[in-house]
Structure 1
Amino acid sequence: MHLLSMKGVSISTTFFFIFSAFAVFCTIEAVINIPVNETIPAVLMFGDSIVDTGNNNNIKSIVKCNFPPYGREFKGGISTGRFSNGKVPSDFLVEELGIKEFLPAYRDPTLQPKDLLTGVSFASGGTGYDPLTSELVSVIPLSEQIQDFKKYIGKLKGMVGEERTNFILAKCLTFLVASSNDIANTYFLTGIRRLHYDVPSYTDFLVKAASSFAKELYGLGVRRIGIFSAPPLGCLPALKTVNGDSEKGCVDDPNEAAKLFNAKLSAELDDLNNNLPHAKVVYIDVYDPLLDIIQNPKKHGLEIVNKGCCGTGTIEVSVLCNQLDPHTCADDSKYVFFDSYHPTEATYKILVNQLKKYVNNFL
């Protein structure tokens, strides 16, 4: 989820976030107590580093995190390719739903066939809706994630037959987390897209791409689709550093672009719901919940907002966040961010708990 720019500065964020959803049919326990295979048989994730659980590990890209200090709070202290110190939103989701402990990466060479039945992540840190975003850092674009998904469907049919596969696709919760790398990196940091787009036209371009992706999922049999908003990108430590405001408030321009994108995305998803029979396409707001944590950290049991735990916390991400840096904090439990772009496990947990309400919209 994080996008390393051509100069080595990463942006991704795609960060973020986040999360999502679960149950409140009546309560989360109510959903979990219903046989999972019949209520929510699987969870599928597409997008960027916020829900990438290791797909970038074996590709030729600098956008990786399968090395310390990433994963130091994960089970066994293993660096799995998750862009955080521990679990990411996809893990919390499947755990809360009682499906399994972690959501594995589809490209994990140790992936077990049984994991296909309950869901995987196709996400790739550093990608975005804009094809140029993934191209800049050589990660897995959304178009290729769809191809992986088609292969996944074929494997499912080989295991359980077409009828059960169609049931799983129709009932699973499918999430798409993107836009952060597009806005923060491809537009603002590198400035490449600013040569041809202003903010309104670029956000139109991104929303159209998000809508097209949702329609493609629908065409493949998916019916429950959650799409995450962009987070408050101007509040990321890296963006504040690049703009010379690491100790001050959030940077206005990226935040305003994120809010414009979010407003347009929400309206577009309303249209999709009106035009895709039997589909539930849900807009998931992560902008306001994350901004609240950033502005009121102590309310959530956190303290340090202006920098990440890794290194100086101002610019380190991916390969720049490594075990050789002597400045990495010893205790990340009070930090909102682990590196300069990605939240800590503690922050993700808070976000996911706040977003449980969205599952009710799928059922």
Structure 2
Amino acid sequence: MSSLISKYLPWLLVLLLRGGVAADGKKKVPAIIVFGDSSVDTGNNNFIPTIARSNFWPYGRDFADGLPTGRFSNGRLATDFISEAFGLPRTIPAYLDTNLTIDDLATGVSFASASTGLDNATAGIMSVISIAEQLDYFREYRERLRLSKLGEAGAEEVVGEALYIWSIGTNDFIENYYNLPQRRMQYATAAEYGAYLLGLVEAAVREVHALGGRKMDFTGLTPMGCLPAERLGNRDDPGQCNEEYNAVARSFNGRLRGELVPKLNRELPGLRLVYADTYDLFDAVVRKPGAYGFENAERGCCGTGLFEAGYFCGLGTSMQLCGNANKYVFFDAIHPTERMYSILADTVMNTTLHVFL
């Protein structure tokens, strides 16, 4: 308990000092609403017919009661830590969980789906929830709030004051563009495909804005070439980061931050859209893990740590599960550990999201 107090007391003080609670006692950010992929999916894929799931051991090994939740990690995700830092519940529920009450929904929800992308074709690969479908669920969510005890005014307050977090895009490049021929036939370079994806980002943000959203964060891509699975598949330099993939991520992030975010803030009345940079921190950690208290940044905790993710983490290889996931940057060959997610959340809170406190 003392570690939790020391971790989040500074943010509680900031909430008070910066007016994080309005004069009427209401929070400036009453809810965290999330769109995206496996980096922020808190269990929606448990409820759809797809193999892109993690609702089995060893996922969730270090979560509250040691049970899997559908999060692709050993514990909580960055968005869970961010919710807690805003004085909201310590976990964000998956929208498709039928056990949720209106009180659960009113403080935040995730519409995210593992293996999805901005491109609907990416979602189709694993038959998961596309961004278009996530937006449909958001419309349904708004209506559920309106028809609840919150009423029209309460629903408008939640939707209008909520913080919207987007974390998506990696699968579009890795699962779709580089692994399948269709998009490469349409877009000669990854940069051209990236421009197409940025158009989809713009359309999605505009749609949420039209539905009442005003406070938004779009999280940039991490150095996806340094994922253990991509190191393994790096034919040019086996075992090393795929620097081509990293360059693509930097290019996409640069245009998102330097062009699209300013444009949308200019054009959409009342919008406060920020760009959260996770690339630089993640890159620093995987290059020098010891400086951040990690012992391994090249393999995941599960199995060999080189290729296992999803169901492969639940097979016999997971018997090689590491003893202490806190020493690892990655839990499986793609997804970070809870400790890495915590570090990412702290960084984003300090560098970007503090403007909403």
- Equivalent runs, 1:252-331 vs 2, <5 Å: 252-266=243-257, 267-322=259-314, 324-325=316-317, 326-331=319-324
- Equivalent runs, 1:51-66 vs 2, <5 Å: 51-66=40-55
Q: Alpha-carbon deviations, 1:5-64, whole Å to 9, x = none?
A: xxxxxxxxxxxxxxxxxx979835646973673311111000101110000002111100
Q: Which amino acid aligns with 1:227?
A: F
Partner SS, residue 217 of structure 2: strand
Q: Does 1:352 align with 2:345?
A: yes
Q: Give identity over the alignment, percent.
A: 37
The match for 2:213 among 222, 244, 253 is 222
Q: Which amino acid aligns with 2:302?
A: C
More helix by share: 2
Q: Alpha-carbon deviations, 1:118-168, whole Å to 9, x = none?
A: 111010011111111000110000000011111100010112111221121
Q: In structure 2, what is the equivalent of residue 46 of structure 1?
A: 35
Q: Distance in 2 between matches of 1:222 and 1:120?
A: 14
Q: Distance in 1 between matches of 2:238 and 2:19?
A: 43
Q: In structure 1, what is the equivalent of residue 231 of structure 2?
A: 240
Q: Does 1:70 align with 2:59?
A: yes
Q: In structure 2, what is the equivalent of residue 339 of structure 1?
A: 332
Q: Alpha-carbon deviations, 1:163-220, whole Å to 9, x = none?
A: 2211211111001111010011111233442222111210000101001100000000
Check conservation: 1:246, 1:314, Cα contact below 8 A: no
If the length of structure 1 is used for normalisation, what is the TM-score? Answer: 0.90
If the length of structure 2 is used for normalisation, what is the TM-score? Answer: 0.91
Q: Alpha-carbon deviations, 1:303-339, whole Å to 9, x = none?
A: 1011101111101111111153222212211000000
Q: Distance in 1 between matches of 2:315 and 2:12?
A: 43
Check conservation: 1:24, 1:359, Cα contact below 8 A: no
Check conservation: 1:237, 1:246, Cα contact below 8 A: no
Q: Distance in 2 between matches of 1:332 and 1:245?
A: 30
Distance 1:32 1:316, change over 3 A: farther
Q: Distance in 2 between matches of 1:63 and 1:210?
A: 23
Q: Distance in 2 between matches of 1:27 and 1:208?
A: 36
- CA positional deviation for 1:116: 1.3
Q: Distance in 2 between matches of 1:190 and 1:238?
A: 17
Q: Alpha-carbon deviations, 1:76-95, whole Å to 9, x = none?
A: 00100001000001211111
Q: Does 1:121 align with 2:110?
A: yes
- Equivalent runs, 1:74-85 vs 2, <5 Å: 74-85=63-74
Q: Which amino acid aligns with 2:241?
A: C
Check conservation: 2:20, 2:28, Cα contact below 8 A: no
- Equivalent runs, 1:80-99 vs 2, <5 Å: 80-99=69-88
Q: Distance in 1 between matches of 2:89 and 2:62?
A: 19
Q: Distance in 2 between matches of 1:359 and 1:170?
A: 17
Distance 1:29 1:77, change over 3 A: farther
Q: Distance in 2 between matches of 1:77 and 1:30?
A: 36
Distance 1:39 1:33, change over 3 A: closer
Distance 1:149 1:33, change over 3 A: closer
Q: Which runs of 5+ in 2 are unaligned?
A: 1-9
Q: Which amino acid aligns with 1:27?
A: V
Q: Does 1:169 align with 2:159?
A: yes
Q: Distance in 2 between matches of 1:148 and 1:55?
A: 11
Q: Which amino acid aligns with 1:108?
A: D
Q: Distance in 2 between matches of 1:152 and 1:79?
A: 25
What is the aligned residue count? 341
Check conservation: 1:188, 1:254, Cα contact below 8 A: no
CA RMSD in angstroms, aligned pairs only: 1.9
Check conservation: 2:11, 2:86, Cα contact below 8 A: no
Q: Distance in 1 between matches of 2:70 and 2:98?
A: 13
The match for 2:93 among 96, 104, 108 is 104
Check conservation: 1:246, 1:306, Cα contact below 8 A: no
Between stretches 126-135 and 292-301, larger displacement belongs to 292-301
Q: In structure 2, what is the equivalent of residue 213 of structure 1?
A: 204
Q: Distance in 2 between matches of 1:26 and 1:209?
A: 38
